């Protein structure tokens, strides 16, 4: 029996598994920043904020496109203050947080 062949048979599926875990489809939201900013209004729905995990409330917002939504947070929108109280969030972090809030639990 060829030893290399046996090793390759064992190693190949393991490499596939690692590749699948290492390529996330959506960036993970920063839950620490979420808890210190977005959550304060978006968990309770304060002042008409679309609630976290309320997919129906987020649907018309998501229809605007992610770029417009990130701009709304950065510039502020009605009762939402500019930056959504996360002064050090990057555009990517905003997008991940928005995707998180608009997704079902
Ligand atoms: C002080 C309360 C408050 C905080 C903090 C807050 N929001 Fe909001 N957010 C609101 C309110 C209120 C609305 C609804 C505004 C409206 O449409 O009148 C809203 C709407 C939004 C929208 C929809 C914008 C649109 O164009 O329809 C997005 C996206 C959003 N928030 C993301 C975030 C993110 C991400 C964070 C955290 C970084 C955050 N918000 C923090 C109150 C808040």
The residue ranges of every structural domain in the chain are: 27-102
Q: What's the rounded Cα separation, in Å, for the pair 83 and 20?
A: 33
Q: Find residue 77's DSSP bridge partners.
A: 80
pLDDT at residue 15 in the model: 55
State which ligand 1 atom lies nearest to the alpha carbon of 34: 37
Distance 59 CA to ligand 1 centre (A): 14
Candidates 2.40.50.100, 2.40.10.10, 1.10.760.10, 3.30.1330.180; CATH matching 27-102: 1.10.760.10
Ligand 1 pocket, residue 37 CB under 6 Å: yes
- Rounded CA-CA distance 97/89 in Å is 10
Instruction: Note the pLDDT tens digit of each residue in 20-34.
Output: 555 445 689 999 999
pLDDT along the chain (105 residues), means of 10: 62 55 68 97 97 98 98 98 97 97 96
Say yes or no: CB of residue 41 within 6 Å of ligand 1: yes
Q: Tell me, what's the pLDDT at 9?
A: 67
């Amino acid at each position: 029996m060829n030893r290399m062949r046996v090793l390759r048979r064992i190693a190949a599926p393991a490499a596939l598994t690692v590749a699948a875990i290492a390529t996330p489809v959506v960036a993970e939201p920063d839950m620490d920043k979420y808890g210190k900013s977005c959550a304060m209004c978006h968990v309770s729905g304060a002042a008409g904020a679309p609630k976290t995990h309320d997919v129906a409330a987020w649907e018309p917002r998501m229809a605007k496109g992610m770029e417009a939504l990130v701009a709304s947070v950065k510039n502020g929108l009605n009762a939402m203050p500019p930056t959504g109280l996360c002064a050090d969030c990057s555009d990517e972090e905003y997008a991940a947080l928005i995707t998180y809030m608009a997704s079902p639990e």
